């Protein structure tokens, strides 16, 4: 498995990101309990202390190299969250993608691209498996992922509705990344 060093940070496309810490609990709870932003997410307890406990347990997965949860900043202001998880020898998943409603346009897309660049380019993965899927009504995330090159693998029902499972090859990511970066006015992609 691939590992990020303790205290890992990254700056790319005008965004800064670092791994979350317990001190981020209030920001995470604020985003994850916002009724509009969280309508397609698993329910989150509104207690900051419960979130801190979740972060302590997450830090164990971070040490094992199976889960990396990032907080993203634009111009020094925290604007969103995203995660690489279910990291194994063959594949990974990116998700838990949640950005504040006042985040500048395109920053959530750039954050998703950055995490996939870490996995596909820096670590050398060939496949992302989003088996847990995207809620069928989460149209914006589905549209973005399809534009990014993801392919539908199947559909399934759960107690919260219908989900679409997706997969993404490195080759399709690199093609989709060019299209999205061009749309956002980014002239040069990382490692191009």
pLDDT digits (tens, 9 = 90+) for 24-66: 999 999 999 998 888 887 788 899 999 999 999 999 999 999 9
User: Does residue 190 belong to any structural domain of this protein?
Assistant: no
In a domain, 23, yes or no: yes
Residue with tokens 């956002």: 184
What is the pLDDT at residue 1? 64
Q: Which domain holds residue 132?
A: 9-183
Count structural domains, the chain: 1
Is the pLDDT score of 3 beyond 90?
A: no
When pLDDT is cut at 50, 70 and 90, the band that residue 131 belongs to is: confident
| Cα 29 from Cα 70, distance rounded (Å) | 14
* Confidence band for 78, pLDDT divided at 50, 70 and 90: very high
Q: What residues form DSSP beta bridges with 73?
A: 16, 78
CATH code of the domain in which 135 resides:
3.40.630.30
Q: How confident is the model at residue 192 (pLDDT cuts 50, 70, 90)?
A: confident
- Please report whether residue 1 resides in a domain: no
Whether residue 84 is contained in a domain is answered as: yes
Task: Please report whether residue 138 resides in a domain.
Answer: yes
* Residue 3 covered by a domain: no
Residue 91 lies in a domain: yes
Residue 189 in any domain: the answer is no
Please state the rounded mean pLDDT for residues 132-151: 92
């Amino acid at each position: 498995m691939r590992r990020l060093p303790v205290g890992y940070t990254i700056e790319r496309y005008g965004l800064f990101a670092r791994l979350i810490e317990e001190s981020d609990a209030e920001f995470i709870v604020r985003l994850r309990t916002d009724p509009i932003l969280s309508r397609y997410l698993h329910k989150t307890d509104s207690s900051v202390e419960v979130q801190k406990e979740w972060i302590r347990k997450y830090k164990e997965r971070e040490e094992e190299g199976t889960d990396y949860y990032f907080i993203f900043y634009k111009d020094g202001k925290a604007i969103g969250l995203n995660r690489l998880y279910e990291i194994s020898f063959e594949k990974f998943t990116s998700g838990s993608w949640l950005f504040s409603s006042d985040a500048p346009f395109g920053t959530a897309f750039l954050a998703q691209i950055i995490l996939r660049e870490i996995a596909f380019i820096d670590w050398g993965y060939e496949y992302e498996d989003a088996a847990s899927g995207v809620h069928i009504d989460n149209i914006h995330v589905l549209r973005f992922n399809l534009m990014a090159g993801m392919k539908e693998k199947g559909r399934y029902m759960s107690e919260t509705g219908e989900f679409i499972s997706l997969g993404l090859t490195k080759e399709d990511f690199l093609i989709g990344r060019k299209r999205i970066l061009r749309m956002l006015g980014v002239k040069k992609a990382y490692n191009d």
